């Protein structure tokens, strides 16, 4: 697969899936793995990197781009998935013109409420995947305690709790 | 842009870059990044109201890109013009991109090792904590008996079903809101 074909593939899949990361993942797996361009272990490794590294999950596409065309492929993949984000500017401009209309206000209220519901659904899904044993539960509880009770910032809370988890896992591996 | 009638303090490009760079250092995907941005822009610097950030995030979910990409473009443009969109995007991407590339290069060493196990057992649950905190903080204005809260509950249950498109859930919420929630929301009592 050439770099151009790869970029066209992720651009089209991104538009088709309308920001639904899972749908893009399924489409890409079909195209790249079933098309014998990447091995399933390479593809899953790239996807796992997106989950365990900081930032947006779709950065896994940089890993896929790197596997296909080196650093140029990685950079091109990142640029390709960022550009459609600029569509938000004309959308917000249009929103400004009609935002005083009652139906539009209701639309935004419904949109916002559904987004909040979606956030909790995402948290639930991540929880099902991440909270699979004692240490993950301890780390999760420690994160909340550091942020809410000790009033540390989010980053400090996360790093502190993750550090505790590493120490616990290491200690348990010695027993 | 949402809520643009209110005057806002402007940021320098450097400050904007730093805020989004910190956001890009958050684990937990887009919601982790959103949590950090909420802390910086809403809680600490009071540059954006939480309602506006939530509105931008909601509209961003409907864009054919990563949601936080759209949020970065919208907030960057709002605070520093077009240059702000580029600065916000680059700042938000650099931390994760660097990690992803380094770990991809190390594929041969790490793919079957214990490092990913450690990350799964420690960083992911911590990132989940950030996601929960972020969701609770942004949802606070909606935590009162109202039709909005019913929307939150219904969309949350529907979105938890596997293979349901998040963009469709949000769009359906918007359409239903235009029918059943006409007019502005009542402000919650402090």
Shortest CB distance from A55 goes to which of B93, B110, B175? Answer: B93
Whether the predicted pLDDT of A57 surpasses 90: no
Whether the predicted pLDDT of A19 surpasses 60: no
pLDDT in tens, A133-146: 899 999 999 989 98
Shortest CB distance from B24 goes to which of A55, A103, A124? Answer: A55
Share of chain A above pLDDT 90, in %: 18
What is the per-residue pLDDT for A39? 82
List phi, psi (to 5°) of A18.
50, 55
> Which of chain B's residues have a Cβ under 8 Å away from the Cβ of A46?
104
Confidence of residue B3 (pLDDT cuts 50, 70, 90): very low
> Which of chain A's residues have a Cβ under 8 Å away from the Cβ of B26?
54-55, 154-155, 158
The residue that leads in pLDDT, A153 or A11, is A11
Domain boundaries, chain B: 13-143, 144-181
DSSP labels, chain A: --HHHHHHHHHHHHHHHTT-HHHHHHHHIIIIITTTSS-HHHHHHHHHHHHHSSS-GGGHHHHHHHHHHHHHHHHHHHHHHHGGGGGHHHHHHHHHHHTTSHHHHHHHHHHHHHHHHHHHHHHHHHHHHH--SHHHHHHHHHHHIIIIIS---HHHHHHHHHHHHHHHHHHHHH-
Q: Do A86 and B61 touch (CB under 8 A)?
A: no
Whether the predicted pLDDT of A77 surpasses 70: yes
Whether the predicted pLDDT of A108 surpasses 70: yes
Give the SS3 label for residue B11: coil
Whether the predicted pLDDT of B107 surpasses 70: yes
The residue that leads in pLDDT, B124 or B86, is B86
Measured between CA atoms, how close is A95 to chain B, in angstroms?
7
- Top residue of A158, A165, A166 to mutate, by most chain B CBs within 10 Å, is A158
Measured between CA atoms, how close is A152 to chain B, in angstroms?
11
Q: Do A117 and B154 touch (CB under 8 A)?
A: yes
> At which residue do the structure tokens 């009542």 appear?
B186
Confidence of residue B189 (pLDDT cuts 50, 70, 90): very low
Least-confidence region, from A68-72, B16-20, B88-92, B169-173: B169-173
Shortest CB distance from A85 goes to which of B35, B69, B111? Answer: B69
What is the per-residue pLDDT for A44? 74
Mean pLDDT (chain A) is 83
Q: Do A82 and B65 touch (CB under 8 A)?
A: yes
What is the per-residue pLDDT for B55? 87
Confidence of residue A172 (pLDDT cuts 50, 70, 90): confident
């Amino acid at each position: 697969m050439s770099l151009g074909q790869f970029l066209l593939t992720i651009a089209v899949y991104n538009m088709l899936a309308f920001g639904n990361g899972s749908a893009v993942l399924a489409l890409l797996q079909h195209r790249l793995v079933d098309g014998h361009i990447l091995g399933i272990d390479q593809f899953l490794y790239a996807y796992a990197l997106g989950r365990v590294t900081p930032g947006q999950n779709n950065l896994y596409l940089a890993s896929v781009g790197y596997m296909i065309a080196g650093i140029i492929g990685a950079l091109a993949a990142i640029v390709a998935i960022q550009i459609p984000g600029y569509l938000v500017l004309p959308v917000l401009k249009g929103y400004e013109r009609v935002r005083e209309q009652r139906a539009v206000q209701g639309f935004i209220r419904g949109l916002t409420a559904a987004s909040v519901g979606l956030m909790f659904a995402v948290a639930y899904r991540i929880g099902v995947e991440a909270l699979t044993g004692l240490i993950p539960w301890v780390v999760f509880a420690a994160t909340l305690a550091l942020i809410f009770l000790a009033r540390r910032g989010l980053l400090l809370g996360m790093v502190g709790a993750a550090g505790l988890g590493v120490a616990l896992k290491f200690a348990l591996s010695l027993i | 842009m949402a809520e643009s009638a209110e005057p806002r303090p402007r940021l320098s490009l450097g400050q904007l870059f730093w805020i989004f760079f910190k956001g890009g250092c958050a684990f937990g995907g887009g919601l982790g990044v959103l949590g950090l941005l909420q802390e910086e822009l809403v809680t600490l610097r009071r540059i954006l109201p939480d309602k506006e950030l939530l509105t931008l995030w909601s509209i961003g979910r409907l864009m054919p890109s990563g949601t936080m990409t759209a949020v970065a473009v919208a907030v960057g443009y709002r605070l520093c013009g077009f240059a702000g969109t580029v600065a916000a995007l680059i700042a938000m991407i650099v931390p994760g991109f660097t990690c992803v590339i380094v770990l991809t290069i190390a594929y041969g060493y790490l793919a079957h090792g214990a490092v990913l196990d450690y990350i799964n057992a420690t960083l992911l649950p911590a990132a989940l904590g950030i996601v929960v905190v972020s969701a609770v903080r942004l949802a606070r204005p909606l935590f009162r008996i109202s039709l909005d809260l019913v929307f939150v509950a219904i969309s949350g249950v529907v979105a938890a079903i596997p293979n349901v498109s998040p963009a469709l859930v949000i769009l359906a919420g918007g359409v239903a809101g235009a029918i059943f929630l006409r007019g502005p929301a009542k402000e919650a009592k402090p």
